[in-house]
Amino acid sequence: MPSSLTLHHRAGINSVVRRIHTCGSTARQSSARVAASGRTSPQNSSTDAYYRQRRTEWVIVGVAGSAAAFGTWYYWSNMRSRTSGTDTPVRNFSLSGRSSSFTIPSRSKDPAHPPYKVITPLTAEQVNARLRENERSTCVDRPPGACLVARYDTNTIASNFPIEDKHAEVIVERDRGIYEQRKSAHHTANKDTPIRGDLCFFTVMDGHGGDYTSTVLSRKLIAFVALELDKVFKETGEYAQMARSQISMTSSIWRTLFGGNTTRESHWLAAHALDGNPEIVKRALTKGFRGLDKEIITTPLELLKQYELNLASLPKSKTRDDTNSLSALAHSIWPSTIGNPKSTPFSTVSQSTAYENILPALSGSCALMVYVDSARWDLYVASTGDSRAVAGYWNERSGRWEVEALSVDQTGRNQDEVKRIQREHPIEEAPYVIQRGRVLGGLEPTRAFGDARYKWDEGTQKRIAEAFLPQGRVRMPPRGLKTPPYVTAEPVVEWRRIPGKMDSTVEGSSNYDSSSNAPSRELRFIIMASDGLWDLMSNEEAVSLVAGHLAGMRGSVRAADLQRMCFEPSKGADMQAGQSLASLESSSSSAPGSAERIVPHHPLLKSPNHMPAFTFEDDNLSTHLVRNALGGAARERVAGLLAIPSPESRRYRDDITVNVILFHNSSDSQVSPPASSDASPQGTDASSLTAKL
């Protein structure tokens, strides 16, 4: 409120106070006069004094009441004026069947703008359209045994605008076959026939600070890794010497053990080539990741070098007369493409084009890759950042599901990452390289592509800002930047041998069951997702949801019941998981109105604590996970969260990208595509379930 108006209000209050004091003095004087005159005329004087006193009392009461009313009005008027500024009051998120809207805090530079925004939840049709807009389901149509992957379902839900998450998938056939045969239901080829299994690449990218880096990764990351793996397969480059050393050693061992059978020897050598060595493949994946990040980070440096060479070639008179600062000179060397460009005889790249080329370095992105070698039954997971891959195994003997995290979140909350970064920098920096769980107090993931603010020194950042961003469109280096880089794109790579029910070649592994001559568990699926999903859902919840979906469940089910049936051991080793979950669905759906009794969670809670109930109504597995992460059977919560627009939505949920990869199992010959998502939640009855886990 303006100061003049405030002074006016204060003056008004002071005048009222003075009037009250004046009235009080007058009353005391009147009482004295009444007392004095009472001595001469008792009856008349007493009556007059009584009425005068009553009038005085009513005046005092009226003035005091007016002052109180005025003060109350002034207080609330002043408070409303203050709250319309920068201070945002806390407003509770409210969702109920009685109200069709709710409010959320909202900030605005306009003082007249209210400090909140009214949100109208989406209708059921709008929710389904929003959730299913980007869903895709892909069946891998390959000959039996050629590919271990049967199907993969993907979906993305945006919170940022534009969405900063990306994903990419590629499946290619091997150029070079192997003679190693595994006794499985799908690999039945002759032992002298090379197996040309498929190579499957799946990636999820979680960008931050824009979608520039994640977009580059979605286009180039698989290609960079494939290029490095091709060197391994062909044993060229640095891998040639490794191959020669391995061939020399293995040939000597073969001749010592088996004599001079050259055909069998060549088959044995092919089976033990470099691409079958997990350590060498992990090395290739790492080089592919680092190679792409090097390109992203060095591209601006190459442009800067070109700029400085052009600067040095300018005539001294031009440098002195036409420019008086490095920033101004940058305009002449990198002419703007907007308006009337100022051409120069040596300009090869416009300033705006140079700016576009450095954006992937200025923003950042996490990356997660799953690589499956179908011929060798090898699984590799490479992780840079905090996206996560989780595997769901079915254990036939115990009759329950098992969960395995195939990657570890690399953030400032991971003590292994904290210790690694502290080791890489001088000891005096150890106390502050990680602050509040973030790198130098700013970046949450400790490994990422791009994020040049944490990789370039301060001088380089200043030179690039002056050369390419003369308007100052770049963030300053983080405080405490002394010995960069503090962030790396080098991934943590994990390897697993994929167990199969009919596979007998993994004896000695943790998956092998010697009593039945078969592995004790079978890989059924892998869930890849950005942290937007894992902020809202645990590994166990995600695996149980996919397991229930594969069993053919529909409708709503209590979360505790689903967890119990998925992860507690069954009564018998030969228990049919599908039958168990079918009975669970029947008992859950018999509870009348169970879904309607669910109370929605406050959206500010990033991780709803054990949602009361899940819902099974989507055919796409990724959509199924996203819906349940946002609220599941609490339909009002899902409708409310999806209705919040960007950028306010970022306070309640992140971008979410999910890819669920289904593997062939011993009991199926092929996996059918999902049915239409238009089916109603009650479309499958418990008694008609045929899908078995």
Residues 6+ apart with CB under 8 A from 113: 84, 106
Over 80: is that where the pLDDT of 492 sits?
yes
Q: How far apart are CA 164 and CA 654, in angstroms?
A: 10
Q: Helices 278-313 and 351-362, interaxial angle, to 10°?
A: 150
User: Are 450 and 297 a contacting pair, CB within 8 Å?
Assistant: yes
Q: Identify the three-state secondary structure at position 692.
A: coil
Q: How far apart are CA 399 and CA 396, in angstroms?
A: 5
Q: How far apart are CA 581 and CA 66, in angstroms?
A: 71
Based on the fold, state whether residues 153 and 226 are members of the same structural domain.
yes
Pairwise pLDDT comparison (344 vs 190), residue with the higher score: 190
Residues 6+ apart with CB under 8 A from 26: 56
Query: How many domains is the chain partitioned into structurally?
Result: 6
Let me know if 36 is exposed, middle or buried by CB neighbors in 10 A (0-12, 13-18, 19+): exposed
Q: How far apart are CA 563 and CA 180, in angstroms?
A: 39
User: Are 525 and 394 a contacting pair, CB within 8 Å?
Assistant: no
User: Does some domain include residue 299?
Assistant: no
Over 70: is that where the pLDDT of 619 sits?
yes
Interval 132-139 mean pLDDT:
98
Residues 6+ apart with CB under 8 A from 240: none
Going by pLDDT thresholds of 50, 70 and 90, the confidence category of residue 211 is very high
Rg (CA), the chain: 36
Over 80: is that where the pLDDT of 118 sits?
yes
Over 70: is that where the pLDDT of 17 sits?
no
Going by pLDDT thresholds of 50, 70 and 90, the confidence category of residue 673 is low
Residues 6+ apart with CB under 8 A from 120: 100, 101, 643
User: Are 432 and 419 a contacting pair, CB within 8 Å?
Assistant: no
Q: How far apart are CA 267 and CA 276, in angstroms?
A: 13
Least confident of 65-79, 200-214, 346-360: 65-79
Based on the fold, state whether residues 370 and 340 are members of the same structural domain.
no
Over 80: is that where the pLDDT of 321 sits?
no
Instruction: Count CB atoms within 10 A of the CB of residue 631.
Output: 27
Based on the fold, state whether residues 401 and 504 are members of the same structural domain.
yes
> Looking at this protein, which amino acid is placed at residue 514?
S
Residues 6+ apart with CB under 8 A from 301: 460, 464
User: Does some domain include residue 302?
Assistant: no
User: Does some domain include residue 67?
Assistant: yes
User: Does some domain include residue 309?
Assistant: no
What totals of helices (H) and strands (E) does the chain contain, helices first? 18, 20
Based on the fold, state whether residues 586 and 676 are members of the same structural domain.
yes
Q: How far apart are CA 320 and CA 326, in angstroms?
A: 11
Q: How far apart are CA 138 and CA 436, in angstroms?
A: 41
Q: How far apart are CA 625 and CA 533, in angstroms?
A: 8
Classify residue 276 as left (phi > 0), alpha (psi -120 to 50) or beta.
alpha
Burial call 544-566: b when 16+ CB within 10 Å, e when fewer: bbbbbbbbbbbbbbbbebbbebb
Based on the fold, state whether residues 499 and 529 are members of the same structural domain.
yes
According to the model, what pLDDT value does residue 428 have?
96
Choose from 114-118, 190-194, 395-399, 533-537 the range with maximum mean pLDDT: 533-537
User: Does some domain include residue 31?
Assistant: yes
Over 70: is that where the pLDDT of 123 sits?
yes
Least confident of 70-84, 542-556, 592-606: 592-606
> Looking at this protein, which amino acid is placed at residue 620?
N
According to the model, what pLDDT value does residue 307 have?
85
The residue behind tokens 């409310």 is 640
Based on the fold, state whether residues 550 and 495 are members of the same structural domain.
yes
H or E element at residue 381: strand 378-384
According to the model, what pLDDT value does residue 316 have?
67
Instruction: Count CB atoms within 10 A of the CB of residue 537.
Output: 23
Pairwise pLDDT comparison (549 vs 73), residue with the higher score: 549
Interval 441-447 mean pLDDT:
97
Over 70: is that where the pLDDT of 436 sits?
yes
According to the model, what pLDDT value does residue 52 have?
75
Retrieve residue 303's tokens: 């442009």
> Which stretches of 271-377 are assigned E, i.e. beta strand?
364-373
> Is it true that the peptide bond before 315 is cis, omega within 30 degrees of 0?
no
The string of DSSP letters for 142-165 reads --TTT-SEEEEEEEEE-SSSS--E
- Measuring CA to CA, which residue among 486, 334, 465 is closest to residue 421? 486
User: Does some domain include residue 32?
Assistant: yes
Over 90: is that where the pLDDT of 90 sits?
no
Q: Identify the three-state secondary structure at position 498.
A: coil
Q: How far apart are CA 275 and CA 273, in angstroms?
A: 6
Tally the C-alpha atoms within 13 A of residue 361's C-alpha that lie toward its C-beta.
26
Over 80: is that where the pLDDT of 194 sits?
no
User: Are 581 and 554 a contacting pair, CB within 8 Å?
Assistant: no
Q: How far apart are CA 625 and CA 469, in angstroms?
A: 42
According to the model, what pLDDT value does residue 508 have?
40
User: Are 528 and 368 a contacting pair, CB within 8 Å?
Assistant: yes
Over 80: is that where the pLDDT of 68 sits?
no
The fraction of the chain above a pLDDT of 70, given in percent, is 64
> Is it true that the peptide bond before 114 is cis, omega within 30 degrees of 0?
no
For residue 569, the 8-state DSSP code is: P
According to the model, what pLDDT value does residue 469 have?
78
According to the model, what pLDDT value does residue 128 have?
98
Interval 565-591 mean pLDDT:
55
Retrieve residue 400's tokens: 């329950």
| Domain around 111 | 85-120
Q: How far apart are CA 49 and CA 39, in angstroms?
A: 13
Based on the fold, state whether residues 116 and 153 are members of the same structural domain.
no
Pairwise pLDDT comparison (79 vs 447), residue with the higher score: 447
Q: How far apart are CA 547 and CA 524, in angstroms?
A: 9
Q: How far apart are CA 414 and CA 416, in angstroms?
A: 5
The residue behind tokens 């010995």 is 483
Over 80: is that where the pLDDT of 376 sits?
yes
Based on the fold, state whether residues 678 and 530 are members of the same structural domain.
yes
Over 50: is that where the pLDDT of 548 sits?
yes
Q: How far apart are CA 12 and CA 17, in angstroms?
A: 9
Based on the fold, state whether residues 479 and 587 are members of the same structural domain.
no
Based on the fold, state whether residues 230 and 334 are members of the same structural domain.
no
Give the CATH number for residue 376: 3.60.40.10
Least confident of 243-252, 364-373, 663-672: 243-252
Q: How far apart are CA 386 and CA 532, in angstroms?
A: 10
The two beta strands, 449-450 and 438-439, are: unpaired
Pairwise pLDDT comparison (396 vs 351), residue with the higher score: 396
Domain end point (choices 83, 111, 146): 83
According to the model, what pLDDT value does residue 595 have?
41
According to the model, what pLDDT value does residue 598 have?
46
Based on the fold, state whether residues 524 and 653 are members of the same structural domain.
yes
Over 60: is that where the pLDDT of 682 sits?
no
Going by pLDDT thresholds of 50, 70 and 90, the confidence category of residue 479 is very high
User: Does some domain include residue 303?
Assistant: no
Based on the fold, state whether residues 99 and 216 are members of the same structural domain.
no
Instruction: Count CB atoms within 10 A of the CB of residue 410.
Output: 25
Residue 393's φ and ψ, nearest 5 degrees, are: -110, 140
Over 60: is that where the pLDDT of 224 sits?
yes
Retrieve residue 682's tokens: 């009650």
SS3 per-residue string spanning 572-641:
CCCCCHHHHHHHHHHHHHCCCCCCCCCCCCCCCCCCCCCCCEEEECCCCHHHHHHHHHHCCCCHHHHHHH
According to the model, what pLDDT value does residue 672 have?
58
Interval 213-233 mean pLDDT:
97
User: Does some domain include residue 427?
Assistant: yes
**Average per-residue pLDDT in the chain?**
77
The residue behind tokens 């950005």 is 530
User: Are 453 and 489 a contacting pair, CB within 8 Å?
Assistant: no
Give the total residue count for the chain: 693
